[in-house]
Amino acid sequence: SAVISQKPSRDICQRGTSLTIQCQVDSQVTMMFWYRQQPGQSLTLIATANQGSEATYESGFVIDKFPISRPNLTFSTLTVSNMSPEDSSIYLCSVGPGHEQYFGPGTRLTVT
Amino acid sequence: EDQVTQSPEALRLQEGESSSLNCSYTVSGLRGLFWYRQDPGKGPEFLFTLYSAGEEKEKERLKATLTKKESFLHITAPKPEDSATYLCAVQTQGGSEKLVFGKGTKLTVNP
């Protein structure tokens, strides 16, 4: 199984600002995924990030709000832009292969 | 639209009291059904993937089964350390690796 780390583990941000979350994997992976876990809600996929191509966003999520970078096979970033209190959530990265997806520890974001 | 419903939302058991968690799903075509365990403040921990009706997988006190409409996670003689939220997710046919999750069942095992 892959070992995944995320930075920061938590942050408190003011509305209107942006936060970049980093995801580092201990092995090379083709696909990385970014999920959001809001209180009382299901884990929801934001986008899929493949190295060397543009990220693919799910319905309801747009690149201007959640830009993603995937510079190599072990690293990705998710930026939450122009934040509002509704963005308060846990953000998790995940890696394949498809039949076994492993998750990082998450980044707990609070927007005030 | 693909949907996953887990029940109950919360379950309290006494240590040693066996029970089952339910995950019902509606998908256009099932590629795999995943079970995860999530402890507070941590990311989901992978437990099992099931692929076809009739398949069963076991890990320690946990046993997962799959039918064409639902999956069960059976917990035999649970211990307090089994307390966690258990998440179910489906992956559908069509090439996407996307997982669609249920809201989870919060299990508490009292000593």
Has residue B101 got a pLDDT over 70?
yes
Has residue A85 got a pLDDT over 90?
yes
Which residues in chain A have Cβ-Cβ distances shorter than 8 Å to B32? 98-99
In this prediction, residue B95 carries a pLDDT of 66
Q: For A19-78, how does the pLDDT look when each residue is reduced to its tens digit (9 = 90+)? A: 999 999 999 998 899 999 998 899 999 999 988 888 999 999 999 999 999 999 999 999
Residue among A1, A101, A106 minimizing CB distance to B99:
A101
Q: What is the mean pLDDT of residues B96-109?
A: 93
In this prediction, residue A35 carries a pLDDT of 97
Q: For B4-26, how does the pLDDT look when each residue is reduced to its tens digit (9 = 90+)? A: 999 999 999 999 999 999 999 99
Rounded-to-integer distance, Cα A19 and Cα B110, Å: 40
Residue B36: enclosing H or E segment and its boundaries?
Answer: strand B30-38
* Per-residue confidence band for B77, with pLDDT thresholds at 50, 70 and 90: very high
In this prediction, residue B28 carries a pLDDT of 86
Has residue B97 got a pLDDT over 90?
no
Rounded-to-integer distance, Cα A59 and Cα A48, Å: 12
Q: Is B94 left (phi over 0), alpha (psi -120 to 50) or beta?
A: left
Residue from A43, A91, A107, A109 to probe the interface with B (highest B Cβ count within 10 Å): A43
Residue among B32, B43, B89 minimizing CB distance to A105:
B43
